[in-house]
Amino acid sequence: MNDEAILVCEGLDKRYGAVQAVKGVTFSLHRGEILGLVGPNGAGKTTLVDLISGAQRQDAGFAAIRGKRLSGPPSRRARVNGLARTFQHPQVALELTVRENVLIGVTAPSLGSVGGLVLSVIKGCLSPDTAAEDLRVTSVAAAVGLPEITRRCSELTLGELRLVEVARALVADPSVILLDEPFAGGDVHGVASVSRALQEIVKTGASVILVDHNVDLVAALVNRIVLLNFGQILFDGDAKECLASPAMQDVYFGAAHL
Amino acid sequence: MISKLRQRGAWLETFSTLALVLIAIAYVQGDVYLEDVAILVATYSMIALGLYVPFIMGGALSMSYNAYLGIGAYAVAIIASKTGLGFGWGLPIGMALSAAVAVILGFATRRLSGFFLASVTVLFGIAFTSWLIASADLTGGGAGIPTFPTPVVFGVKLTHTIVVSIALLLVWIVAVLLARLRRSPFGVAVRASRRASTAVEASGIRISTIVLVSLALGAIIASLGGSMFALVNESVIPESFAIDIVFLTVFTPLLGGQSTPWGAVLGAFLVVLFTFELTMFKETGTLLFALAVLVVLVAAPRGLLGYASSGLKLLTSRLEPR
C-alpha cells in the first residue's frame, strides 16, 4: 500500500426534505486499501454509496477518482472512472449462467456507446463467440470461488450470487470497488468466501470500500474504518482503534457507555 | 470444450432449419394459394423476429410493429410506382426510416415500460394506419397503391414464386443471425438488462441506449418483412398494416418458445395455420389460437421448442452412459 489517494470525497451533502442523510462527508481512499464504511441502520451509508456510484445526485461537494470528478449516470462512472460495485440485494440475471453474468463486466466497455453497440450487433451476428473473454471470465470466477461457470444463476445460493457480483465487478479491472453489505443474509460460509474474494480484489491493485453495519465482521477484514452516524463521519482511522473509540461505543452501545 | 459443444449445437440448428426452409420452398412452389400462405408465414415471422430482441430478450414491449411493416411495404411500393428509382432502393430506405421512427418513438417513451409502453405504442400503431388512409397524395389513401410493376433484377423478372422463396430464405437468414446475436456479448447484455438493469448500468452500459438499439434492430427486421410482403403482392393497402397483426404476433414466441428465435418462427407458422389455413374454423381461428396460447402457457411455459429441447435433453442424457 502507498499513500496515493485513489478516491477522494469532499464535503458531500445530501438532503431528503427535512432529513440530512449525508452531511459534509470528506475522506479519501488510498491505493490498494480496504476501507470499511460502518454505521447503524439509517446512518447514511447507502446514500453515500449512491452518491459515489451515481445512483443519486449530491446537493453539494464532489467525489473524484484519480483526480477526475465523478459525474453522470453509473454507466459513465464505470467506463470513465473505473468504478465498480456490488449490490445489497444481488443484481444478477437469474435465467443467465454465471459465465454470462460475469461476461458483462468484460464486454461492457465495448458496449458503452451507440457506435460500439451497433458494431457489437454486426459482430454478434457474424462471430458471436467469445473465447478470449471466456478465459478471463473463467479465471476470475475461479479466483473468487465460482468454479462452475456454466451453472444457471437461479441454482445459486445467496452467497454465490454475491460472488457472481464480485466477479463481474473484478473482471472489469476497476480502480475502486464498492461492496454494498456483502454479508447481509449470509452465513459463516458466506463471510469466509467474501473475505477470500477480498484478497483476490486486493491482488489486482484495486481499492475497496466495504459497507456493512456489522462492525466486528468488517473490522476483521479491513485496514481502516470510517464510522458514519446521522450522515456524518464520527471516526476515521485504524480498525482496532475504531473498535475501542468512544465514538464507536456511543454509536453502537449508546446508553451502556454512559 | 463448452464453447465447442455450443458451436456444434448451433451448426446443427443452422443446417436443419435450412433444410426445413428449402423443403418448404419446394413444397409451396407453383401453387398460388400455398405461396400466399407461405408469404403470410414469412411476414408474421419477420414481425415476430423483430419483436424478439427488444421484447423476448430485453423485455421492452413496443407494439408499433405494424407501422414498421407498413413503412417497409410502402417504401417499396411508392418508390417502384412513383419514382424513377429501382424498387431495390425501397428496402434500405424502408429499413432506415423504420429504424429512425423506432428510435424517435423509443426516445419519446423512454420513461415508460410494461403496460404503459405497450399502450402508447399501440396508439402509435393505430395512428399510423389512420395516417396511411389520410395522406392520399403519398400513400394512395384507403385504396392504397393497387399495383406496381413486377420488379426486375439483372433482367430477371421477380415472379411471385421467386419473391416468396427469397422471403422464406430471408426468414432463415434473420433467424440464424439472431440466434448468433443472442449468445454474443450484445445479446447477453440485452438479456441481462431485462432483470438486472441496475447492474448492467453499473457495469458501464447505458440501458436507455441499448434499448433504443434493440428497438431499431427490431424495426429494421419488420420493415424488411413488409417490403417482401409488398413485393409478393405487387400492391399495398392500409388494412394489411392494422394493429391486429401485432396482437397476434406478440404471442408467437410464447407459443413457439423463447430460448431461440426459431420459437418465434414456429409460433408465426401456427398463427397462420390457426387464423387463415383452418378454413373450417374460419371465424373461430383467432379464438382457437388464443386457446392454444393458453394451453401452451399452462402446459409448457417455455413454449413448444422449449418443451421439445428439454425432452431431447432428457432423452440424450438417458442414452449417454454416465
Contact with chain A for residue B4, Cβ under 8 A? no
Q: CA A52, CA A65: separation in Å to the nearest integer?
A: 10
Best of A49, A123, A129, A133 to mutate (most B CBs within 10 Å, chain B): A129
**In 10 A of CB A88, how many CB atoms?**
17
Chain mean pLDDT for chain A: 89
Partner-chain residue, chosen from B3, B186, B191, that has the shortest CB–CB distance to A120: B186
**Better pLDDT: B23 or B308:** B23
Average pLDDT over residues A228-234: 91
Query: Is the Cβ pair A107, B199 closer than 8 Å?
Result: no
Strand order through the sheet with A5-16: A19-30, A5-16, A60-65, A68-69
Average pLDDT over residues A122-131: 91
CATH code, domain carrying A56: 3.40.50.300
Q: Does residue B18 register a pLDDT over 90?
A: yes
What pLDDT, in 10s, does the model give residues B154-204? 777 888 899 999 999 999 999 999 999 999 999 999 999 998 999 999 999
Q: Does residue A99 register a pLDDT over 90?
A: yes
**Is A18 in a helix, a strand, or coil?**
coil
Which three three-digit cell numbers place residue B176? 440464424
Show residues of chain B in contact with A124, CB under 8 Å: 180-181, 184-187
Interface predicted TM-score (ipTM) of this complex, two decimals: 0.90
Which three three-digit cell numbers place residue B281? 374454423
Contact with chain B for residue A139, Cβ under 8 A? no
Contact with chain B for residue A135, Cβ under 8 A? no
Contact with chain A for residue B250, Cβ under 8 A? no
What pLDDT, in 10s, does the model give residues B52-100? 999 999 998 899 999 999 999 999 999 988 887 777 889 999 999 999 9
Q: CA B79, CA B256: separation in Å to the nearest integer?
A: 36
Contact with chain B for residue A78, Cβ under 8 A? yes
Contact (CB, 8 A) for B47 and B249: yes
Query: Is the Cβ pair B200, A104 closer than 8 Å?
Result: yes
In terms of Cα–Cα distance, which of B158, B143, B118 is closest to B243?
B118
Query: Is the Cβ pair B199, A87 closer than 8 Å?
Result: yes
Contact (CB, 8 A) for B215 and B103: yes
Q: What are phi and psi of B150, to 5 degrees?
A: -55, 125
Which three three-digit cell numbers place residue A253? 452501545
Q: CA B258, CA B65: separation in Å to the nearest integer?
A: 19
Helix or strand holding residue B215 (H, E): helix B207-233
- pLDDT at position B75 is 95
CA A3: distance to chain centroid?
21
Q: How far is B117 from chain A (nearest CA, A)?
A: 22
Partner-chain residue, chosen from B186, B187, B191, that has the shortest CB–CB distance to A93: B191
Show residues of chain A in contact with B210, CB under 8 Å: 111, 117
Provide the residue type at A45 as one letter.
K
Domain that holds residue A97: 5-256
Q: CA B211, CA B232: separation in Å to the nearest integer?
A: 32
Query: Is the Cβ pair B185, A73 closer than 8 Å?
Result: no
Q: Does residue B228 register a pLDDT over 60?
A: yes
Q: How many domains does chain A have?
A: 1
Helix or strand holding residue A38 (H, E): strand A34-38
The terminus-to-terminus CA distance of chain B in angstroms comes to: 18
Handedness of CA B32, B36, B37, B41 (dihedral sign): positive
Q: Tell me the H-state helices in chain A.
A: 45-53, 74-81, 98-107, 114-126, 131-144, 158-170, 188-203, 215-221, 239-244, 246-248
CA A1: distance to chain centroid?
19
Query: Is the Cβ pair B195, A94 closer than 8 Å?
Result: yes
Which three three-digit cell numbers place residue A151? 451453472
Q: How far is B115 from chain A (nearest CA, A)?
A: 22
Helix or strand holding residue B262 (H, E): helix B261-272
Q: What are phi and psi of A179, to 5 degrees?
A: -105, 110
What pLDDT, in 10s, does the model give residues A171-219? 999 999 999 988 877 667 777 888 888 888 888 889 999 998 888 888 8
Partner-chain residue, chosen from B186, B196, B204, that has the shortest CB–CB distance to A109: B204
